[in-house]
Amino acid sequence: MTTDYPKLHLGTAPDSWGVWNPSGDPLQTPWERYLDEAAGAGYKYSELGPFGYLPTDPGIIREAYAKRGLTLTGGTVAMGLQHGKAALEQAKADCDAEMAILAPNGAKHLVILPQGYTDMDGKLTMSPTLTDDEWANLNSGMSELGKYVADKHGAVLVFHTHADSHVGTQEEIERFLDGTDPETVQLCLDTGHVAYCGADNLKIIADYPDRVQYVHLKQVDRAIRARVAEGNLGFPPAVRLGVMVEPPLGEPDMPTLLAALAALDRDLYCIVEQDLYPCDFDKPLPIAIRTQQYFKGCGLTAGHPVR
């Protein structure tokens, strides 16, 4: 008998079509094709992807999504608040620009990506650890930013822990959540990045149940992850090796995870986000169809938009 999870709402994102950058990258699926294929694969919800990949005119977004029966769930903004006040002011401006697209289209989730410390070759670009002062900047800045976007835009800041960033391991995630305002800073639980960094998805859900307000569904191939660690390769090279895989081929175990999320008893967008950059344009659609069908079999459907 199939379990039904009416409060978990399945969607997808441009990342699952090999999109990491704004417009102009010839290695990326054109945005119209992405939307066509996302809808064709059976999804009803979609994120924006990197700012500028899809058009930044909210009217064009409204028409493009409506034409395909899609609902916008949120958008991503990258930042490095450990750098202090100037970085915070830039982050506010970047969130304003993102909300100028999201708000007119009924979306309120701002997915915040922390600055990474490796380049596309996996080489270090900064220290992989923060000083105590940098941690203070990060946590206080994120709390202030969360209040800013809530007060100005009615938006929800959901922080996305990330591989090759300063908030990825279990210890780092806990230090971040314990050091930020639970009223203004929520969590985008990216199940793949959590597993990639050796953290524990189920423990995070159990210990911080009220903070989990948005989800990216992703799995990690443990054998490839071990090769990456042995070779100290970094996250972008790991993706090129295929470290992120479609379910049920990796970890974490999805049925167990979905049951834990459903037990939170709140409406959650659960956005499939399988890192594929770069990839052949014909590769994502078959994966997306299989993945949508897999999660449908697990009891995830579109349901109503989360408001």
pLDDT above 60 (res 106): yes
- Architecture of domain 8-298 in this structure: Alpha-Beta Barrel (3.20)
118-169 residue pLDDT tens: 999 999 999 999 999 999 999 999 999 999 999 999 999 999 999 999 999 9
pLDDT above 60 (res 229): yes
pLDDT above 80 (res 304): no
Contact between 106 and 72 under an 8 Å Cβ cutoff? The reply is yes
Interatomic CA distance for residues 103 and 183, integer angstroms = 21
Contact partners, residue 76, CB within 8 Å, separation at least 6: 47, 48, 49, 50, 51, 98, 110, 111, 112, 113, 160
Count Cα neighbours of 180 within 13 Å in the Cβ-side half-sphere. 30
Domain boundaries, the chain: 8-298
5-53 residue pLDDT tens: 999 999 999 999 999 999 899 999 999 999 999 999 999 999 999 999 9
> What pLDDT does 157 receive?
98
Query: What count of other Cβ atoms lies within 10 Å of the Cβ of residue 6?
Result: 12
Global pTM value = 0.96
Q: How confident is the model at residue 2 (pLDDT cuts 50, 70, 90)?
A: low
Interatomic CA distance for residues 94 and 78, integer angstroms = 9
Query: What count of other Cβ atoms lies within 10 Å of the Cβ of residue 180?
Result: 24
> What pLDDT does 241 receive?
97
